[in-house]
Amino acid sequence: MIPRNCSFPVHDWTTLSSYWHPVAFCSDLSDRPFSVTLLDEELVVYRSAGGIVVARDLCLHRGAPLSAGWIEADEIVCPYHGFRYGTNGRCTKIPAHPDAPIPAKLSLQTVLSEERYGLVWACLSREPRSPIPQFPQFTDPTFQHFHFEALDWNCSAGRSTEGFLDVSHFAWVHAGVLCSRDNPVIPEYSVYPSENGFGFEYASTYANPINSDPGDAEGLALWRRLYELTVPFAALLVTVYPRGGQLVIFNISAPTSAKRTRIYKLYARNFDQDEPLERMRALENRIYEEDRFVMEKQRPEELPIDLHEEVHIRADRASIMYRKALSGIGLGRTFTA
Ligand code: FES
Ligand SMILES: [Fe+2]
C-alpha cells in the first residue's frame, strides 16, 4: 500500500519497496519501541523474545503510533487505549472489553525483517526482488568490524550513493584528506556488470591518512579501490594498500523519503586492529561532512537517469553505469530517490 504523503512517483515507490533497506543498527534495538521512516512509511521497530519486529507504526483501532507505546510481557501496548499485540502480531487484549472476541483484522501490519551485519533490514514488499546485499568481510575472521553512527542527509539516496562512487571529486571536495588539488587526473578504469549491479576498480597515488602504511618515502603509493555496487543503494568499497592492508566501507543509503536519506556505514579492516577508532571516526566525519555539503545542494535533488539531462566525462563511467543500472530495475527517467 502506498504511504500517505508519498514523495515518490508510484512506480518508483513500488520498485524500491521490493528491495531490502536497513532501518536500524541491531545495537539500537531494545524492548523500547522506536519509530523510523523508510520510503515515507512510518515503521515501529523493537525486539521481543520472539525476535525483532518491524511493523507499520499504526494501531488499527484509532491510528495511534505504536512507537509511543511500550513493551510489557513481550507484547507491545498501544498508548491510546491499551490494546496489546503479541509476537505473532495478533491483538491479544482489548482492556475495555476483556471478554469480547477480538476482531481478526486487529493485528500489527508487520513487514519482512532480518538482522544481518549488525543491521536490521526491512523489505516493504512480501516478495523481495533480490537478497540482502553482500558484505563478505563481515564473516571473515581476519577482519575486525565496526560502525559509526548513521547520518541523516537532505538529499536523495540516488545522489548520495552516486557520490560514494564518484572518483573525480576527491581532489576537490576532499582536498588534503583523500587527494590534493595538484593531483586531479583520473586514470582510465573500466566497469563490469555483476549479478545485482556492477563493479569497478580505480588506482590512486595519494596516500590515505586513515592507513598507517606510509607507502614510499614521499607518502605516495599505488593503492587500489575496488567498488561493488548492489542496486539500488548499497556500495561496498575495498581499499587495498601497498602492503596488503584492506579497509572496507559498506555504505548503504536508506531512502527516508525522495529527498531525505539515512546513510549507514559499516567498516572492516585487516590491519591496525589495535588502533583506537577515534582518529578514524574524526576523519570519516570530516569526509562525510564534506560530501554532505555538496550533495544537499545538488539540483535537481532527484538523480537524473536520462543520460541527456547532465553532461558526462570519462571519469564518470561508474556513475553512468549506476544510472543505467537504476533504469534497468525500472526506476523512472528522473528518479526521485
Ligand atoms: S488507537 Fe490503539 S488502542 Fe486505540
Ligand atoms: Fe566524497
Q: Which atom of ligand 1 is nearest to the CA of 69?
A: 2
Cα 39 to middle of ligand 2, angstroms: 24
Share of the chain above pLDDT 70, in %: 93
CATH architecture of 136-335: Alpha-Beta Complex (3.90)
Neighbours of 59 (CB within 10 A): 25
Of ligand 1's listed atoms, the one at least distance from the Cα of 78 is: 2
With H, G, I as helix, E, B as strand and everything else as coil, classify residue 44: strand
As a whole number, mean pLDDT of residues 202-214 equals: 63
**Per-chain mean pLDDT for the chain:** 92
Lowest mean pLDDT among 76-80, 241-245, 310-314: 241-245
C-alpha 77 – ligand 2 centre gap (Å): 43
> Which residue ranges make up each domain of the chain?
19-123, 136-335
Residues near 98 by Cβ (< 8 Å), separated by ≥ 6?
none
pTM of the model: 0.95
Q: What single-letter amino acid sits at 18?
A: S
Give one DSSP letter per residue of 189-222, joined into a string: --EEEETTEEEEEEEE-S--TT-S---STTS---
Whether the domain at 19-123 and the domain at 136-335 fall into the same CATH topology = no
Pocket of ligand 1 (CB under 6 A): 59, 61-62, 64, 78, 80-81, 83
- The answer for 287, left when phi > 0, alpha when psi is -120 to 50, beta otherwise, is alpha
The residues whose Cβ lies within 5 A of ligand 2, an ion, are 291
Residue 260 grid coordinates? 531525505
Quick one: which of 273, 233, 213 has its CA closest to 224? 213
User: What's the CA-to-centroid distance between 53 and ligand 1, angstroms?
Assistant: 18
Pairing status of strand 234-240 against strand 112-116:
unpaired
Q: Is the pLDDT of residue 31 over 60?
A: yes
Superfamily of domain 19-123: Rieske [2Fe-2S] iron-sulphur domain (2.102.10.10)
pLDDT for residue 214: 47
